[in-house]
């Protein structure tokens, strides 16, 4: 379906274009390793190549696109080493956040996390919905931990992790395992067990990496 500039919101055009391409990458409309045809996309969106190239720079900074000299832009392929590095950092950052939340979260904030977990329980038979709610839970936990620098780093790392999601969460049995790990995290949060919350989150990422490998 073709687009025109009039369909975009008043945000900077390249920001809108970056979001459109980002979603195509996450939805596998643009596969990892595939070449991004700038002329074709510019024509489809009804834009010049200038905002498209600015959008590609944004995606390259996020790690979703790889710029190759004289060859153009390609959707990033995540190597085994990349994946291990991303999961390692996410484990460190999000386990630390879980420890903070166990100590400092208000009853209302814990109730919000519980509500997201309940939605996760209800989504167990819908992998796409489960994935979306799972991400919302993790980002809500980070919001409660209230460290914008950590949140910024995690947001970028999670974008890269999404490139590999079909080999992890969608594996047979992984959703049920992930759900039990979330139960353990939430139990530790409700018990105000900071160290237990950290360990539960670390285990969650360790098992996630094992499924993704």
Convert the pLDDT of each residue in 166-182 to its tens digit: 555 556 678 999 999 99
The pLDDT, as a whole number, for residue 173 is 78
Task: Of 4-18, 86-100, 136-150, give the lowest mean pLDDT range.
Answer: 4-18
Residue 31 predicted with pLDDT over 70: yes
DSSP letters along 43-66, please?
HHHT--HHHHHHHHHHHHHHTSEE
The DSSP output letter for 5 is: G
Average pLDDT on 61-70 reads: 91
As a whole-number percent, the residues of the chain with pLDDT over 90 amount to 73
Q: Is the separation of the CB atoms in 89 and 159 below 8 Å? A: no
Band (109; pLDDT cuts 50, 70, 90)? very high
Rounded Cα–Cα distance for residues 80 and 83 (Å): 5
Which residues are paired to 67 by β-bridges? 73
Rounded Cα–Cα distance for residues 158 and 165 (Å): 10
CATH fold of 80-212: 1.20.120
CATH 1.10.10.10 residue ranges of the chain are: 5-75
Q: How many beta carbons lie within 10 A of that of residue 51, not counting itself? A: 20
Average pLDDT on 203-208 reads: 94
Please tell me the pTM assigned to this model.
0.79
* Per-residue model confidence as pLDDT tens digits over 126-147: 888 998 999 999 999 999 999 9
Of 164, 144, 142, nearest to 153 (Cα)? 142
The pLDDT, as a whole number, for residue 103 is 98
- So what's the architecture of 5-75 in CATH? Orthogonal Bundle (1.10)
Of 127, 125, 133, nearest to 182 (Cα)? 133
Q: Is the separation of the CB atoms in 83 and 164 below 8 Å? A: yes
Would you state the torsion angle of the CA atoms of residues 1, 78, 95, 202, taken in this order, to the nearest 10 degrees?
Answer: 120
Element (H, E) at 86: helix 80-104
Rounded Cα–Cα distance for residues 130 and 118 (Å): 11
Band (6; pLDDT cuts 50, 70, 90)? very low
Q: Report the b/e string of 60-69 with b at 16+ CB within 10 A.
A: eebbbbbeee
Q: Is the separation of the CB atoms in 58 and 16 below 8 Å? A: no
The pLDDT, as a whole number, for residue 161 is 86
CATH 1.20.120.530 residue ranges of the chain are: 80-212
């Amino acid at each position: 379906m073709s687009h025109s500039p009039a369909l975009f919101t008043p945000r900077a055009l390249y920001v809108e274009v970056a979001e459109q391409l980002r979603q195509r990458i996450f939805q596998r409309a643009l596969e990892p390793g595939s070449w991004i045809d700038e002329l074709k996309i510019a024509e489809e969106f009804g834009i010049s190549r200038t905002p498209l190239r600015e959008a590609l720079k944004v995606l390259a900074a996020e790690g979703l696109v790889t710029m190759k000299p004289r060859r153009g832009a390609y959707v990033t392929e995540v190597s085994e080493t990349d994946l291990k590095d991303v999961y390692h950092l996410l484990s460190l950052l999000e386990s630390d956040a879980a420890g903070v939340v166990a100590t400092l979260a208000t009853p209302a904030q814990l109730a919000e996390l519980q509500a997201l977990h309940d939605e996760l329980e209800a989504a167990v038979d819908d992998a796409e919905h489960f994935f979306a709610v799972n991400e919302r839970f993790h980002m809500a936990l980070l919001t409660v931990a209230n460290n914008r620098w950590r949140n910024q780093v995690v947001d970028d790392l999670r974008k890269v992790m999404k490139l590999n999601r079909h080999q992890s969460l969608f594996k047979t049995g992984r959703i049920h395992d992930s759900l039990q790990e979330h139960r353990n995290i939430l139990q530790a949060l409700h018990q105000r067990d900071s160290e237990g919350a950290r360990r539960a989150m670390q285990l969650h990422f360790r098992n996630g990496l094992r499924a993704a490998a």
